[in-house]
Structure 1
Amino acid sequence: MARGTRSRGFVGLVVVAAVTSALVGCTEEAAPEPTLPPPSIASRPLPTTLPDPIPFAVAPLRGTLVAPASASGPSLAAKIDDHEEARPQLALNRTDLVYEELVEGGLTRYAAVWQSDVPEQVGPVRSIRPMDPDILTPLGGIVAYSGGQERFVEMMQATPLVNLVFDYDDTGLFERADDRPSPHDVILAASVAVERNSELAPPARQFRYGGVDPLADPRFAATPTSRIDLVYSPARFPSWEWDAASGSWLRSQEGAPDADSSGERVRAANVVTLRVAIDWTYGEVPKTELAGSSGEAWVSAGGRTAHGTWSKADQSAPIVLTADGGGELELSPGNTWIQLVPTTGSATFVP
């Protein structure tokens, strides 16, 4: 019995040894797992100073973001001719504001204002009218015109604005263009005029600006508008069409597309239409009544029109636009045309 037990034990030892040997052999043949070095991270020192932020400011007469220098200069207003022989006018699409007013003979004339983007030249420049002091006094800055009746010139010179008058100028700011008929040929060196008066303060904001579609707010009860038809007189009936592709109103004059000297269609981000009374104190020269007055108003922006009222406390106060439901009407950032339509005319807003 002892012998048999030893035999079985011996066999077991042999089997265990064989299995152990096989396992050792397999372990020796397996490829070892590679040991990778830790990733190398390049040492980059942190900057000791951060780059200066890009400066910007808000253009007071446009509500758009511009370089600080473009917002800090004075405004330049000029009386711009709208006679057929004065067209196309220079740089109308670079204006911040344009006021269209009734003058004698049923014609209209512009009080055009540049501040955020002053061109090299503007024109044709024409004479002053009795409502211009009321329109332009809130802006301060500079006003340029060719002359006018002595009493109207004195009214303008009584304002705080710097007056640049072609009839009195001996500094070379004005010239007559050879390619335009007189008297529709007076051109102003606009950028030089502003440079010479750079110490003047920038204008105060005239209107309240919202987003690109400011009248979408339900409180304004704005209605979709595709076209604006305005009648100043049988001789002057401008219109505006909404162009969604460019996000602007495109202007026509007496049924024909209106362009400035660049060849581009005259356009505006906003069209503000005010119904105004006319004072005939000055005979055949109409005076738009603004200071101390109020009336019906429409603001057209973003393809919509909101109704409200306008008011102007006095000559130095800006025009305030109030919605029918209360609160100040908002404009879209960009240039604005203010249509001073007489109550004898009309304003139609087509859906």
Structure 2
Amino acid sequence: MKQKVLHSAAVLLLTLCVVVGGCQSRQESSEDTAASTVQDSVESSVPEESSDLLPESEPEPDSSEEESSEVEPVIPEGYVYSQYTGLPIPEETARRKPVAISINNHRKASPQSGLLYADIIYEAPVEGNMTRFVAVFQDYDQVEKIGPVRSARRYFIDFALDQSAVLIHFGEDTSISKVYSQVGCPHINGISSLEEVMTWRSKDRKAPHNVYTSGERLLEAMERAKIATELESEVAPVFSFLKEEETPSSGEPVQHVAIPYLVYKDYNQTAEFFYEAETKSYGRVQFDEPQTDLETGEQLKFKNVLIQIADVHERGDEAGHKDMVSIGEGKGYYLTNGICQPVTWKKADQQTPTHWYDAEGEELSLNPGKTWINVVSLSQEITLE
């Protein structure tokens, strides 16, 4: 049944449908070794004393020996679990400092390039109620084209800090030019002496929708800017991931999500996700068609979708720039395996990562896979059906 949810309401979901979900083991790639469940063998012994007058019978198994032990999933040697996807990745990749790239999401900039390889994508409203992406990549050195790259906003810094990433942008809201150093956010602005090193302009699109970068160029730009390309030894992860995929045991079945950011005449920028039971993923749709990666033609699909409801408001300048109250707490939704759950988020300060909690107040554990995060304002309407 279709329901419209207005997020200024005090209660986000009135009814929680109880779904008994069995644990579903995720399929590993050829590089992964699937985890197996080992059942303890039951050893039976013949009683030392027996009467010849009694009929022979099978000995009773010792109940204490019937318990089975759980075995941790096995991953290949030299691999670890990614703190960005919860999936096995090479140790070398896991040490790399990720990048958080501001990506243009105007219709004239679509489809974008390289988003297929992002681990996490934020979508947030900007001036004019259009949206912009901040795409977080950790394994990016072989990605040949990413973009179009656009300018940064103040809350993009929060997204980058949350993921311990280098913020990559081409221009910025000038009011934040000093914020990077104040909060300790490493960044590279393409409109600088590094422009030709880090970016290029394609000839098939017009400015400002034609600025691109690549993994090779990003690494060279970071080296020239003297920005570390490896993570510090201790980095607090934003997300907690399950070792094995699970379907939530509580929540409401939801097959379709629609967030109408900007609907004006023939310009319809509605963020949509359709659940695919076969792949257990959410296919991304915008501008009334599947959102694909320009280079591969593949539709963008995600294991997890988070909706972060926050105070997003206009700042009051002539350009109509928006800002987001990202420090504090708020409500939201978590969607995975066709189930939608109410959640809350909390962020203590700019240097502390945002933490997510389930309806019982326990830290939220995501299914292993890629995650999309939609930031919406308190008054934004969301369709869950």
Q: Normalised by the size of structure 1, how large is the TM-score? A: 0.78
What residue number does 2:304 align with? 270
Change (3 A) 1:303 1:213: farther
What residue number does 1:182 align with? 207
Matched ranges for 1:19-34 at <5 A: none
- Structure 1: which amino acid aligns with 2:321? V
Task: Give how far 1:294 is off.
Answer: 1.5
Number of corresponding residues: 294
Matched ranges for 1:84-103 at <5 A: 84-103=107-126
Question: Does the 8 Å CA contact 1:215/1:330 hold for their aligned counterparts?
Answer: no
- Structure 2: which amino acid aligns with 1:290? S
Partner deviation per Cα, 1:54-99 (whole Å, 9 max, x = no partner): 2211111111001111111000111000001111111111101111
Matched ranges for 1:1-351 at <5 A: 54-118=77-141, 119-170=143-194, 172-194=197-219, 196=223, 197=227, 199-201=229-231, 204-211=236-243, 213-216=245-248, 218=249, 221-234=250-263, 235-261=268-294, 262-283=296-317, 284-291=320-327, 293-350=328-385
Question: Does the 8 Å CA contact 2:154/2:173 hold for their aligned counterparts?
Answer: no
Partner deviation per Cα, 1:274-326 (whole Å, 9 max, x = no partner): 111123334311112112x2111111111111112111111112221111122
Partner deviation per Cα, 1:207-249 (whole Å, 9 max, x = no partner): 1111554342x3xx22222111122233431110111222210
Change (3 A) 1:324 1:58: same
Task: Give how far 1:345 is off.
Answer: 1.3
Partner Cα distance (1:198, 1:172) in 2: 17
What residue number does 1:39 align with? none
Partner deviation per Cα, 1:240-266 (whole Å, 9 max, x = no partner): 011122221001113221111121111
Partner Cα distance (1:232, 1:266) in 2: 19
- Structure 2: which amino acid aligns with 1:287? D
Question: Does the 8 Å CA contact 1:101/1:288 hold for their aligned counterparts?
Answer: no
- For 2:161, what is the secondary structure of its paired residue? helix
- For 1:238, what is the secondary structure of its paired residue? strand
Change (3 A) 1:289 1:233: farther
Gaps of 5+ in 2: 1-75
Question: Does the 8 Å CA contact 2:168/2:189 hold for their aligned counterparts?
Answer: yes
Change (3 A) 1:282 1:215: farther
Change (3 A) 1:155 1:198: closer
- For 1:136, what is the secondary structure of its paired residue? helix
Task: Give how far 1:181 is off.
Answer: 1.4
Partner Cα distance (1:141, 1:239) in 2: 27
Task: Give how far 1:205 is off.
Answer: 1.7
Partner deviation per Cα, 1:167-223 (whole Å, 9 max, x = no partner): 10335111111122111111112234236355431664211111554342x3xx222
Higher-helix-fraction structure: 1
What residue number does 1:19 align with? none
Q: Normalised by the size of structure 2, how large is the TM-score? A: 0.72
- For 1:252, what is the secondary structure of its paired residue? strand
Partner Cα distance (2:81, 2:275) in 1: 25
Q: Which structure 1 residue ranges, 4+ long, deviate > 4 Å from structure 2?
A: none
- Structure 1: which amino acid aligns with 2:155? M
Provide the identity percentage: 24
Change (3 A) 1:81 1:74: same
Gaps of 5+ in 1: 1-52
Which is greater in Rg? 1
Partner Cα distance (2:179, 2:377) in 1: 22
